[in-house]
A and B are shown apart, each in its own frame.
Chain A
Amino acid sequence: MTQAVDALDPDRATLDPDQSNRYPPGDLAIWIFILAELAVFAVFFGAYAFTRMDNVALFNEFQLHLDREAALINTLALITSSYFVVRAVSAIKENHAEYCFRWLVAAMGMGGIFLIVKMGEYSHHFEQGINLSTNTFYMFYLSLTVFHFMHVIMGMVILAAVAIKAKKGGYTAQEHTGVETGASYWHMVDLVWLILFPLVYVMR
């Protein structure tokens, strides 16, 4: 929708600053998608918390078996990657496509660290014979984190596509909706983890 508006008025921001401050960065369609994703995660979080009410001892016991140091590394990796994406957006707004590309590659590197650390955690769990049927806690832990893991992969694919286009000079200071769209999705992935980390690994 914003692209349609931009097509009608490419200089929307300069002509009507009031309007440019009313819509979120990127394509409006990605925001509908983001809100839908956030709604699903909210249901997941609520289900975890209310199921825990009837299984407090079990949740508290098996939560201690999780690797909080790995979760710390992953949280720092996602926060850092989100910051790098912010810098990528700032770079393209100043017409520095090469810097934009480099920040996006750095962000993907951080995303890669997240995936490697998380796969290490899963590998450890699977070696111990842990799966969705082990108990209610692990059912939620694996479902929630794997669902989020898939979103990280999806986010990295989007960032890669945006980075390639940025490298080819496909974005400018005037037209960088694609960069902001990819950035918004990636921040959503970070946002969800910021709730998931304390809920599953820390709160007891």
Chain B
Amino acid sequence: MAEGSKEKKHLGHIQPYSPQAGTMVPMGAQKFFRTCVLWQLVRFVVINFRMTILILKSHH
């Protein structure tokens, strides 16, 4: 594995055949967008919209 490769950076801490190896693990792009301010501003609006709908559906 090359030094500084994305495998080492994002997956290097996972041991083969461990429970952690049995699931999906995010890599560079996924992690980047999680804290990308512009993208997260969009998600902020979307999540608030979803929650508003949920609240409206829940009040009887």
**A and B bind:** no
Interface residues of B (CB under 8 A from A): none
Interface residues of A (CB under 8 A from B): none
